[in-house]
Amino acid sequence: MSPSTTLAESVTKQREALANLLREPLALAAQACSRAWPSRAGLNAALMHALSTMPACKYLYALDTRAIQLSDNISREGLIETDYGRDRSDRPYMREAVPNQGFLLTQAYISLRAKRPSLTAVQIVRDDDGQVLGFVGADFDLRDLPITGKLYDEPTYWRQIKGDPAIRGAVFHQTRVDSQMDLNLDTVLGVMAELMTDHGIFHGKLHFSSSRATLWLVDDPYRYRLLDIDALTDPDTCLIYPHHDYPADAVVPRDKIRPVLDGLRALRFMDETFYLRAGSLNIFNGMVGLTFSCDGSHYLPWDEFLSKGYDFWASGKALG
């Protein structure tokens, strides 16, 4: 994915695809409702038929121009009468301006009853003279909607995320204290490098300040392993992880694992005030994660991390 394809842009494309799927059936539902307006029974019948054309829809209903519900809730299970006469004017989907073409796919929101991410499609209902009678609303649970695009790819360009302001404000009042990991770092990095190059660990994170590591294995990616300082300082730990050939599709070359880990070591000791608290490496997306004492975090490609070197980070330019 290029840097220009952001998460927001991916969401926009997905919403556009969904809108294209819903626009026509909802327009037809509005036409059927206009012929029955404002009869409760007539609207119920028209919406029940329309629901059969929208398999992902959870509820259909008709509202007048004040957002008062004129129909029952139409669902797969039949009519739900409790919302007849309900005032929906305070719901998020009624606060968005409907475009001139009369169709709106709202921003996602948390539903009032199920407490789940949802969205609503709204279509204006007009009479034969073009006067607005009200609206047809169609509620969707996000988990029921068809996914019209491929899985979003996590970007692999440098990103900086500022942390807790309280920690940033107090950073000059703290000093690095040697942890048990700091005191045994040669052994810890040796064990970590061995696990990542020859034992199937594809993502490893070193928590320097709390002397622990979290690991994810190629053969068991859904569960992380937690190693305390005793395990990290005992090379025999490698014996409990079977040998695994280095993955051919890894982005990080095998011989660059140790240089990256040594780079983390340098940042840990670079300054007594600004120093690395935790660092991670993922060999498949090629990203190095850094969290500093000021609680600021960086995510950057492994080769860019190595190219910057110690002097760049020690200058404080990237810590903001």
Tens of pLDDT, residue by residue over 242-298, are: 899 999 999 999 999 999 999 999 999 988 778 899 999 999 999 999 988 876 789
Instruction: Compute how many other C-beta atoms are within 10 angstroms of the C-beta atom of residue 101.
Output: 10
Domain ranges of the chain: 7-144, 159-314
- Higher-pLDDT residue of 106 and 302 is 302
Does the predicted TM-score (pTM) go above 0.85? no
Percent of the chain with pLDDT over 90: 57
Distance separating alpha carbons of residues 231 and 224, to the nearest angstrom: 15
pLDDT of residue 97: 77
| Topology adopted by domain 7-144 | Beta-Lactamase (3.30.450)
What integer is the mean pLDDT of 206-217? 96
The tens digit of pLDDT for each residue in 167-192 reads 455 555 577 789 999 999 999 999 99
pLDDT of residue 162: 65
